Chain A
Amino acid sequence: MPDGLLMITAVADSIRSYGEFPVIGARGAIWIAAQVHLMFAAFVLGVPMFAVVAEAIGIFGKDAKYDGLAKEFTRLLLVAYSATAIWGAILVFLLATLYTKFWAYLTTIFGPSMWLYAGLFFFESFTLYLYYYGWDRWKYGRAKLGHWTLGILLNVWGTIVMLIANSWLTYMMTPPRDISSTTDLTTVKLWHAIANASWMPINIHRIIANVVFGGAIAAAYASYRFLAAKTDEERAHYDWMGYVGNFIAMAALIILPFAGYWLGREIYMYDQSMGITMMGGFMSWLWVIQAFLIAVLFLAGNYYLWIGMGRIPGAERFRPYIKYLLIVLVLGAIVWGTPHTMIADSKELAAMGGSHHPMLGALGVMSAKNTAVNLMILATFLSFLMYRRGNKEFTVPWADTGTKIQGAMFAVAAAIVLFYGIRGYFVEAIIRIGYSVYQVGAVLACIVFVTVIDSLMGRGAKSVGEIQWGKMPARSQYALFILAVTFTWLMGLMGFARSGIRQYWHVWQVMEDTSKYAATPALGYASQMISLSVLIFLSLVGFVFWLGGLAEKSTFGTAAKGGSHVGH
């Protein structure tokens, strides 16, 4: 171990282990700093991903409006990037002063990776500046491709930075089993500590979640600009930008649960008691709240699409079906939110007449919940498909047959979901778990094949009329705000779940938390910390966006002239 790190450890050993912070306490201070830093970090990691995709569509599809959109996305990053760094510094200073010994522990093992982290952050910052400020300079030919490569490089740096930071927090959750409280830290190999059991699942989960989050915040930004717009042209641009942001968020959200299942599985395999604490222990109510929040996301996302159909000529033919989709979504949300394995005291057990509620127990099991959520995903996809088809009239001769095949695919997928959902009640748990793979597979296959057929059918389609971008009622934009707040809040809640399952350990079963804040708080207190963090984040993000608006006029003016908004 380098001498410097030995010195840090020695200093930490000789001074107090924990500090105190006024009013909200040391834990509260760390909680808020970490959460707000993470929210900014997720935003600045998520946005470059779809900015670079939008730029590629602009380059290869020769559509200037996408290039303008990519630049506008990137402009949101500039000040947000500084805020990420500031909150990261706050977090580090708080850790070093409030959790001295624990911080020394982490630096002893991960010190070299922290230096690499700082170095990469430097490269990432300058790549971002080159990417943004070089936009208009490197606009054509090879220079434009070089500029696009900068965007890819920005994503590479950002992803590596995230992977490094993830290794520190996942080590706290799932340290390699051969490391104990008595292990000499100088013998712990850096890569051994980095490549712990939950590292890769968290990496994948966060990459997808960052896209969801970035899309939702960008959509909220666009919705605010829409509401504040003074011209029809501006309103049309921000309506379109809000639609794209929401589409990105919802599309990535659909695959996020699968990454979540993988993470949960790894946690169970690493330590059953940790998994049980998470799903059936004192955190069991958390999953009911999570189900409620996801129900809000599904309903608000679909509501936005349904309202959006009002600005698409020809989409009125699909309006009668909306009520059936709403029924599926509401029923699905109710089933998904039904509690099952809750910690109950003897009075509650007696009142229920057993460990499960006599009526709701059957709906609270995974068979019912998986069925509900898969049908909700199918319903949401159907909403999107209707929206997508709104102003199209297919001209290919096999259009009717294609539509029937698509309908049959929906029916087969729903039948498979229902069949395995019902059958799950009659088989052993170990077999039932495997059924969720068939259900998910059927839904994903339906989404992929129906989309392919729809794209093929859409070739040469006649337009009933152009989408009337900008002609959206204000309430649709408030739905986007609710989506952004809910995504942000959900992120805070899941962060609490991931961190809280360590309970009174800084590093699970290796380094105990002996501070006065060692107990893991109940959901009520956690919700207050989450709401406070979300409020700080959204206030700051509003401020930095306002700053961005002051610094430069929107790019929509030139971009909107680049082409009309037909299709998607």
Chain B
Amino acid sequence: MWATNLKVIGVVLGTLFVYTLICNKIPQMQSEVPQKLSLGANATAEQLVAAGDKVYHGIGGCGSCHGLGTRAPNLRTDEKGTGAIGARCGTREAGESCKVYLYESLSQPTDFVVPGYQPIMPVVTKLLPPEQVWALVAYLESLGGTVDVTGADLQASAAPAGGAAPAGGGASAEFAGGSVDPKVIIKEAECGNCHKVDGEGGELGPDLSHLGGRRDAAYIRHKILDPGASVTKGYETMAGVMPKDFGTRMNAAQLEALVTFLAHHK
């Protein structure tokens, strides 16, 4: 009987040993906690880039999608003949500098989805502290471009959360060129990425084509200004996806034009 017991114990311990050994032989990757950077107003471009490199390959986990050629555009290498991200970021959005574009891509990724890819990018400014986001911007600029992130940007990022527009930015000052044409606003706001409007657009959010038949103007206005206040039935899993900053990006006339258009679209 003892021989049987020893054999059973041997099989159990041997199996556990093999599994533990294999797991200890493969590359060991620990998920670190984002650390506050000790970079201040005098941080040099080299220091920012080095810190951003760590974020990109570490806590940022950017390489999980970027660089695979399927999930998201290449950043460190050429993307369809346009070069690395530092070389092309300044021309991605008309009138936006590379720095502004990169920052906004990290803070409002659904607004800057590159054609051919899904809107799967998380809001990086929610995941990382502002210093790390700026370091990341500096690193991305260094990939074929010129680094113009400075310590001043880090200082400015100490501003209240959610309102950290990049220094020298002001991209949203004239949303949709000030137009009050609802179709222009819808296009500029890229509602179609998630919603169908007049039969065209995405399906991540409710169809807006006949919204006026279901909702009144007050509800629509409230929903645009505070999308997290309620969740439409059937779209619970998409809660939190809709940007919360339309109220600050549009002026009052634009908001009312959009609300009126949707409320009358029955």
Contact = CB atoms under 8 A, between A and B. Distances in A.
Interface of A: 176-178, 197, 224, 227-228, 266, 269-273, 276-277, 280-282, 284-285, 288-289, 292-293, 341, 343-345, 355-356, 429-430, 478, 481-482, 485-486, 489, 500, 503-504, 509, 513, 518-524, 526-528, 530-531, 534-535, 538
B243 to A, nearest CB: 14
Contacts of B11: 478, 481-482, 485
A289 B26 CA distance: 10
B31 A289 contact: no
The 5 closest A-B pairs by CB, nearest first: A527-B23, A273-B122, A177-B240, A522-B28, A520-B31
Nearest to A522: B28
Contacts of A271: 122
A272 B120 contact: yes
A171 to B, nearest CB: 15
A534 B17 CA distance: 11
B124 to A, nearest CB: 9
Contacts, number: 136
Given A478-B7, A534-B16, A524 B239 contact: no
Given A177-B240, A280-B65, A289-B22, A522 B16 contact: no
Given A227-B4, A523-B23, A503 B31 contact: yes
B240 A521 contact: no
Nearest to A517: B33
A554 B146 CA distance: 79
Contacts of B29: 282, 285, 343, 522-523
Chain A contact residues: helix, strand, loop or mixed: helix
Nearest to B1: A228
Contacts of B63: 343-344
Contact of A429 (B61, B70, B239): B70
Interface of B: 1, 4, 7-8, 11-13, 15-17, 19-20, 22-24, 26-34, 57, 61, 63-65, 67-71, 118, 120-122, 126-127, 228-229, 231, 236-240
A510 to B, nearest CB: 12
Nearest to A503: B31
Nearest to A342: B27
Contact of B32 (A481, A486, A513, A519): A519
Given A355-B69, A519-B31, A524-B26, 16 more contacts: A178-B229, A227-B4, A272-B122, A277-B61, A281-B61, A282-B30, A285-B29, A355-B68, A430-B118, A478-B8, A481-B15, A489-B15, A521-B30, A523-B28, A526-B23, A538-B12
A504 B64 contact: no
A355 B67 contact: yes
Contacts of A527: 19-20, 22-24
A520 B30 contact: yes
A531 B65 contact: no
B65 A276 contact: yes
21 contacts: A177-B228, A178-B229, A269-B237, A270-B237, A272-B120, A281-B64, A289-B19, A289-B23, A355-B69, A478-B11, A482-B11, A485-B15, A504-B34, A513-B33, A519-B33, A522-B29, A523-B29, A524-B26, A526-B23, A527-B22, A534-B16
Contacts of A522: 28-30
B64 A277 contact: yes
B20 A178 contact: no
Contact of B16 (A485, A500, A518): A485
Nearest to B15: A485
Nearest to B30: A522
Point out which of B17, B31, B121, B126 has the most chain A C-beta atoms below 10 A from its C-beta.
B31
Given A273-B127, A355-B67, A178 B239 contact: yes
A292 B22 contact: yes
B120 A269 contact: no
Contacts of B127: 273, 509
Contacts of B32: 519
A138 to B, nearest CB: 36
A531 B61 contact: no
Contacts of A288: 26
Contacts of A535: 12-13, 16
Contacts of A355: 67-69
Given A176-B239, A289-B22, A482-B15, A228 B68 contact: no
Contact of B19 (A280, A429, A489): A489
